[in-house]
Amino acid sequence: MRYGGKTFLVLISCLPLLSACLLSGPYPYKLTAGVLYAASQGVFADPKVNLREKNYAAADFLQSQFGKTVSTYHVIKALPLEELDHPGITSPLGRNISEGVGLRLAELGYNVLLQDVAPHDNQGLYPKPSQDISEHYILKGYYNVKANDIDIILHMVDARSNKVVARFDYTMILSREIKKLAQTSPQIFRVKGQ
């Protein structure tokens, strides 16, 4: 335990240097401190931390990775996360995570389109833009439900080159709330030739 405390102390004392190296923008120290705090405190593994806080921490981490690559005038389109084993299938959890990360990025000043991640019962929450806007970047990813936890894989992808500009993978405990949100509605597929 003592060794872990020293490591954490070294990380805290290096925050100004880390923020200068990792981030740009008006609040680099605050964002770096938030990311390191979240990582050091295990925000993603703590069942007491709600899903919204975890989504915000994930957005902060993604933003620290893409830095100057994505500008605030670029358009980011948020898409629901899909099941890793069943691409194309999503759940309320897939929409909730993308929506939460997108909302945080919007708070940080980015232009995020959230129409595709709005809850089904509230499609008018995020009205479509008045003009036809093409996205520069796409926020998407996958989730994989396991016995006791769930893996989340977030990507920020350049829409023109399909290159991943930021990625963040994390694991959350499969709480009752998350398990309920991860349930997908049954779907019927036709298989040709059979």
- Determine the topology of domain 51-181 in CATH: Rossmann fold (3.40.50)
Q: What is the mean pLDDT of residues 156-170?
A: 94
pLDDT band at 188; cut points 50, 70, 90: low
For residue 172, what pLDDT is reported? 87
pLDDT band at 3 (very low <50, low <70, confident <90, very high): very low
Q: What's the pLDDT score for residue 106?
A: 92
d(CA 13, CA 183): 43
pLDDT digits (tens, 9 = 90+) for 80-103: 999 988 888 888 999 999 999 999
**Extents of the domains making up the chain:** 1-41, 51-181
Q: What's the pLDDT at 126?
A: 75
Q: Residue 17 — very low, low, confident or very high, per pLDDT cuts 50/70/90?
A: very low
Residue 182, token pair as written in the block: 């991860």
- Percent of the chain's residues with pLDDT above 90: 33
Q: Which of 29-33, 93-97, 163-167 has the lowest mean pLDDT?
A: 29-33
Query: In angstroms, rounded to a whole number, what is the distance separating the alpha carbons of residues 167 and 153?
Result: 7
Question: How much is the average pLDDT of 135-155?
Answer: 93
Could you tell me which residue, 139 or 13, shows the higher pLDDT?
139
Cα(22)–Cα(134) distance, integer angstroms: 29
Q: Cα separation of 101 and 113, whole Å?
A: 12
- pLDDT tier, 48 (very low <50, low <70, confident <90, very high otherwise): low
Tokens representing residue 90 in the block: 């999503």
Q: Which of 5-9, 46-50, 115-119 has the lowest mean pLDDT?
A: 5-9
Per-residue pLDDT, averaged over 8-21, amounts to 41
Backbone φ, ψ for residue 82 (5° rounding): -110, 160
pLDDT at 100: 92
Least confident range from 6-15, 25-34, 70-79: namely 6-15
